[in-house]
Amino acid sequence: MVNRRKILVVDDDPTMVKLINVNLKLNNYAVIEAISGEQALDIVSKELLDLVVLDIMMPGVDGWEVLKRIRNDPDTEELPVILVTAKTQDSDVIRGWEHGADEYVIKPFNPLLLVEVIKMVLDRSYEDRLERRTKQKEKLEVLRSLSRTRPESTK
């Protein structure tokens, strides 16, 4: 039997979890579900996962904290994480990159495209993912410096 890639799907909306789960299973992924940040952290500590699909806005331990703990734990720091969230502000996307997200997908999204993003992330080596994060952070610094040097518009 082929060893299927194991993906943790974390969202406090059970409908969203089921939507992602169904599409991943149709693409032969093994799926574990969590409906809270606490539950996600428990699973991450016990399971050997290939990737986490993580919502940000959850009660209690939110997605930011889950991502932070994953990145700060030597046992999970290399675990790919895709943020899937309704937070669309540039500052949220920037925060996602800064905290080590591998990709940032905005809700609502096409489930088939999410599967393609997952495949793309899983195909990257750890070194490629680190290089991509570093480049993203460099781009963000350039954008920040440009926004700080922009003259105020005149009325």
Looking up residue 37, the CATH number of its domain turns out to be 3.40.50.2300
Q: pTM surpassing 0.75?
A: yes
Q: What is the pLDDT of residue 3?
A: 61
Assigned domain for 13 exists: yes
Assigned domain for 65 exists: yes
Share of the chain above pLDDT 70, in %: 92
**What is the spatial distance between Cα 22 and Cα 124, in angstroms, rounded to a whole number?**
24
Rounded to 10 deg, the angle between the 14-26 and 111-123 helix axes is 60
Assigned domain for 42 exists: yes
Assigned domain for 137 exists: yes
Average pLDDT, the chain: 88
Question: b or e along 32-43 (b: 16 or more beta carbons within 10 Å of the residue's beta carbon)?
Answer: bbbbbbebbbeb
Q: What is the pLDDT of residue 93?
A: 84
The pair phi, psi for residue 84, each rounded to 5°, is -125, 110
- Does residue 59 surpass a pLDDT of 50? yes
- The tally of domains found in the chain comes to 1
Residue-range definition of the domain harbouring residue 97: 6-149
Assigned domain for 155 exists: no
